[in-house]
Chain A
Amino acid sequence: MTASTFVLADPTKCIGCQSCEIACAVAHLGTSITTAGEMEAPFQPRLRVVRTSQVTMPIQCRHCEDAPCANACPVGAIVRQDGVVLVKEEKCIGCKTCVLACPFGAMDVVPALDKGQRVRQPGLKVQTDEGAAPKERYVAHKCDLCIGRPGGPACVEVCLARALVLVKRGTMARSVKSRRTASAMQIARSGVQPAGANR
């Protein structure tokens, strides 16, 4: 199986407008945004813009080849499918181990939604003075590369600054090759010789 593709932002282009967050949340909403507004569906993007005095850019899943989130999951709810590291919501128990394991901060645990509507879990109830009350279901939440979406990842499509790109294996190979060439040229131009070369 080939190396997975992933979405990456260019901090020199990003203006921090958060359109990607909105596009992501809408793409996974399962209903229209007007309906979402009327029923106050939670806003749950799968990437988040980081904004500090040094850098502004969204951070999202890298779809790691040996994904720590999947390796850490005690119930096998995170799988690799069609080159995408994917959460199988139906299996997730909301334990947050994946959140702790992810080195990029790309995992979250959020309310599970069905067509924008919060859902109750069938299992564990909340103990109250009036007895057992239903509890909202929470699940692991991460970038799924908009799997099955005709236009590809919604965040890439919406970015007006063209700061987001879908990095494919070929893109990486080309970039690595051109950097390798540039390094070689730089060494040649600098006239530096390896120690002992003149011996």
Chain B
Amino acid sequence: MSGLGTAFGSGAMTNTINELQQMGPNDAIFAIGTNTTECHPIIGIRMLEAHRRGARLIVADPRETELAKHADVYLRHNPGSDVALLNAMMYVILTEGLADEAFIKSRTENFEACRETVLKYSPERVEGITGVPAEKVRQAARLFATAENGATYYTMGITQHTSGVDNVLSVANLAMLTGNLGKPRAGVNPLRGQNNVQGACDMGALPNVYPAYQPVTDPKVREKFEKAWGRKLSDKVGMAISDVLRGIEEGKVRFLYVFGENPMRSDPDVNHVRHCLEKVEFLVVQDIFLTESAAMADVVLPGTTWAEKDGTFSNTERRVQRVRQAVEPRGNARPDWQILRDLIRAMGYPADYSSPEEIFNEIRTVAPSYAGMTYERLEKLGGIHWPCPTEEHPGTPILHVGKFSRGLGRFSAVDWRPPAELPDDEYPLVLTTGRRTAHYHTGTMTRNCWGLDGVAPEEWVEISPEDAADLGIAHGDHVRLTTRRGSVVARAEVTDRVPKGVTFITFHYTESAGNLLTNSALDPVSKTPEYKVCAVRVEKVSA
């Protein structure tokens, strides 16, 4: 979000999912750091369908994903080398005269600085960093730049690095360099991992903004919200999750209220998280199951599942849609909005909301991008893409048409930096993390589903045949993975999906919790942890 905000003025997906269904021979799909068929299966299927219709498919990922198997060009780059790879692609585009000069001239700024940096990254020169043969980089760059439209898709493989913001800025540079913004079948498309994570951000569930990304530090904005809510408001930026944990250690944070999140499995370096959650004076967890985090809480508030609640979800493509209650909440579970309303009331604020729609209508009065949406319109149109400023406005499927949200698109000069923790003699392999189709996040819901847990009942760590042979590990063996932070045991899947030197684990399994291992080193700007690279030692466990 920080990266795209800097480049375009908006951190959201620029285009829509359905555009994939119009893609054909003149279009290119560039998927980097996204295991789309596994983590966004419907979008992944649409990508493969577009590819069968003739769309070019370029995939960059250290792991040979299903999508990579189908790619016209597959770039297997080393974990954490994204900036070098993207700069090398841009080097080819620049030096071979494939850049969209007209777009750069009329729609962007700061191009010269970017150009100067990119010209240091010839594909041959960075082979040692990326591990990708120069010729492949050239092929990929040409394939993408010569397509009439090129759409870039990415997820956590780009963002969960200490260079996450730099990675995003580089993706933005590439899209601007090729004029692929503000038009259909193009754009920069960060695929969100959850049905409503876009909505949560839209509502200001971030340390620095009110709803609709209005900065807390802007006096005019503060005044507006003080008027709307009838209370004095702080002008200080709040804390990122990592700051909260540090705050607990330093005794500055004494109360923690966690809902719909399981930091004991989803945050990096779980042993440290446990220490913090044990230390905090008062912990409240609101969830639908007694998660590992909820089990540590002083008070557990039972929330409702998706089937029991009413309201809206704002999905990855900025489309706000209705969600309708199918069954009555079980037991003493209550919808989140009612729990929050009663808490706010108990704290002395006259919150008297009687329905999610009433809350939605208040959102419309303070969030300009939601102002034109009513429940009736959402129902009639099957969802509306923000921004939608008035009730006559059709919504905005494609952002930055004719003009970027910030005016001119801003190029950045981005140099490659290595990941925070690299292999050494003691921890000789790279560990990267991700997901499997059957499971969602920490498995709170999916591991309780008979069928989903049935197809993926235990962790299988991926290790290359070469490394497995070196370590005397056979397919199916139990192995111990150890990093500077912790140790877990899982089954070994010996597979070419990962290259020599790289291992892979998910964070779905509480009995083999991947995040006991991960590094909590942060991107300096976005404060996103480096889940995607750390150093690990793997050993066979004797039975």
Interface residues of A (CB under 8 A from B): 12-13, 15-18, 21-22, 25-26, 33-34, 36-37, 41, 43, 45, 52-54, 56, 160-161
Q: Nearest Cβ distance between residue B62 and chain A, in whole angstroms?
A: 14
Known: A160-B41, A160-B45. A16 touches B66 (CB 8 A): yes
* B497 in contact with A53 (CB, 8 Å): yes
Contact with A along B27-42 (1 / 0, CB 8 A): 0000000000110011
Q: A12-B70, A160-B45, A161-B45 are in contact. List 17 more A-B contacts (CB 8 A).
A: A12-B52, A15-B38, A18-B438, A21-B454, A25-B451, A33-B451, A34-B450, A36-B450, A37-B448, A37-B450, A43-B453, A45-B454, A45-B455, A52-B495, A53-B64, A53-B496, A54-B69
Q: List 7 tightest A-B contacts by C-beta distance, closest first.
A: A43-B454, A53-B496, A37-B450, A22-B451, A15-B37, A18-B455, A36-B450
Contact with A along B486-518 (1 / 0, CB 8 A): 000000000111000000000000000000000
Is B264 an interface residue when CB atoms closer than 8 A count as contact? no
Interface residues of B (CB under 8 A from A): 37-38, 41-42, 44-45, 48, 52, 64, 66, 69-70, 437-438, 448-457, 495-497
Which of A15, A17, A37 has the most chain B CB within a 10 Å cutoff? Answer: A15
Q: How far is the CA of A53 from the CA of B63 in the complex (A)?
A: 10
Q: Nearest Cβ distance between residue A122 and chain B, in whole angstroms?
A: 28
Q: Nearest Cβ distance between residue B46 and chain A, in whole angstroms?
A: 10
Q: How far is the CA of A41 from the CA of B497 in the complex (A)?
A: 32
* A43 in contact with B52 (CB, 8 Å): no
* B44 in contact with A53 (CB, 8 Å): no
Number of A-B contacts (CB under 8 A): 67
- Contact pick for B41, options A12, A15, A36, A53, CB 8 Å: A15
Interface of B is mostly: helix
Nearest B residue to A161 via CB reads B45
List of B residues within 8 angstroms of A22 by Cβ? 451-452, 454-455
* B455 in contact with A160 (CB, 8 Å): no
Q: How far is the CA of A13 from the CA of B448 in the complex (A)?
A: 29
- Contact pick for B44, options A15, A25, A45, CB 8 Å: A15
Q: How far is the CA of A160 from the CA of B173 in the complex (A)?
A: 35
* A56 in contact with B450 (CB, 8 Å): no
Known: A15-B38, A16-B437, A22-B455. A56 touches B66 (CB 8 A): yes
Q: Nearest Cβ distance between residue B340 and chain A, in whole angstroms?
A: 29
* A16 in contact with B38 (CB, 8 Å): yes
Q: Nearest Cβ distance between residue A166 and chain B, in whole angstroms?
A: 20
